[in-house]
Structure 1
């Protein structure tokens, strides 16, 4: 059995903020991962869009794709919760003329474009996110360790991809099955979406609970679990399409 990469999403102040140790080769579908659907963005780039229907493009400037990571362990209050946000993203969504069967969609964002723990986000979130500030040096160390070969290995797997597998429901409520590809492993998830649409704009809002272990990542802990990261993280999406 291959060891799972240990990804640290919180840490003891003054030690590390977001790091990793251990190794993990990318898992194939036969090793527990799922298969991603064909890439809509690649088809569009090749000049082969789906026939019929309507194509929507992501308005990245108006959209927000954020990951929330939570501290854990019996000494959790010595660590920090973290807010990570996609600094840039591209996406496309194709919807059939009638119904939702056969809908296709894809989002991509680069790991090296992730933005971490902006003080404005933490202040806006309030509560425990605004208890203890993080200085710029700690945030920079967090990002370096996250992207390192011992972490998410951004050099080998520079992108995170979220692809639509199935879409059901009726506006203003959709239910989506999505395939998330992270660190070389794909895993499918279910997410409920709130839908607002007019002739020129489409807004999708949803929250998805992810687990490190779904993607071959072992939640980090030190000192016998005294300080740890929770397995669950939250993906919070507010996506605007034109």
Structure 2
């Protein structure tokens, strides 16, 4: 198996640090706290640094965005925790010779989300042992994409837009604007960045999103006795490749 080296552990081009797609670097400084306020209160995002950049793309087959959604309420034992995943991550990372000038914009079609793959539930361990039936998974996905939750028909895509990055190239702090359900929020994400064979870049990390921050009311039944927890754990493993790779 080829070795993957943390950025900074060996001398690599500065652009390798770019893997700002940690969910994800741009031109501006990184806010001190995360998340920032959403909606119309956000400052305009800096222009993407396309000129003179090397365009990296996401290698979908080797990348994954994973969300863990947890049951809540006094009747939580009657429900399931869920693993939601997708590898359908598109967009471009614009890698400049100087890391702090790089940027990206990524997008995820909401209809690409898959509910409760058995292998992923097994990886998550405690709290994910029971496997929902096929009908339960289909019902969960339909509710999630429906008008009462994500409303994928009206808001079909989640976008991730770079705002800025500071820190060392192997463990930077990256400011990213997440737009979902017609609302945007800014976060600071500290990914681990790696330089991989064949000129590829790898980023792993995570963050916590609140559904209510995006105007989404967490699903619930039985007068809230069984409901979905507002906060959602998000993790990512992203592989970027240069042109022709």
Tell me which interval the TM-score lies in, with the shorter structure as reference length: 0.7 to 0.9
What residue in structure 2 maps to residue 112 of structure 1?
111
What residue in structure 1 maps to residue 17 of structure 2?
none
**Stretches of structure 1 lacking an aligned partner (at least 5 in a row):** 1-27, 41-48
Q: Deviations over 1:54-102 (max 9, x none)?
A: 321111110011111111112212111111112412132112212x323
Aligned equivalents of 2:84 and 2:43: distance in 1? 26
Are 2:67 and 1:81 equivalent residues in the alignment? no
Q: Is the 8 A contact 2:149 2:218 kept in 1?
A: no
What residue in structure 2 maps to residue 29 of structure 1?
39
SS of alignment partner, residue 129 of structure 1:
coil
Task: Evaluate the alpha carbon distance shift between residue 126 and residue 36 of structure 1 in structure 2; reply closer, same or farther with a 3 A threshold.
Answer: farther
Q: Is the 8 A contact 2:149 2:217 kept in 1?
A: no
SS of alignment partner, residue 218 of structure 1:
coil
TM-score (norm 2): 0.76
What residue in structure 1 maps to residue 175 of structure 2?
177
Q: Is the 8 A contact 1:171 1:196 kept in 2?
A: no
TM-score (norm 1): 0.77
Aligned equivalents of 1:165 and 1:139: distance in 2? 36
Within a 5 Å distance, the mapping from 1:1-242 to structure 2 comes to 29-30=39-40, 34=42, 37=45, 50-98=50-98, 100-130=99-129, 132-198=130-196, 200-242=199-241
Structure in which a larger fraction of residues adopt strand: 1
Q: Is the 8 A contact 2:60 2:87 kept in 1?
A: no
Shift of 1:219: 2.5
Q: Is the 8 A contact 2:176 2:187 kept in 1?
A: yes
Q: Is the 8 A contact 1:36 1:179 kept in 2?
A: no
Task: Evaluate the alpha carbon distance shift between residue 87 and residue 182 of structure 1 in structure 2; reply closer, same or farther with a 3 A threshold.
Answer: same
After superposing the two structures, state which structure 1 stretch, 203-212 or 190-199, moved more: 190-199
Q: How many residues align?
A: 203
**Stretches of structure 2 lacking an aligned partner (at least 5 in a row):** 1-37
SS of alignment partner, residue 128 of structure 1:
coil
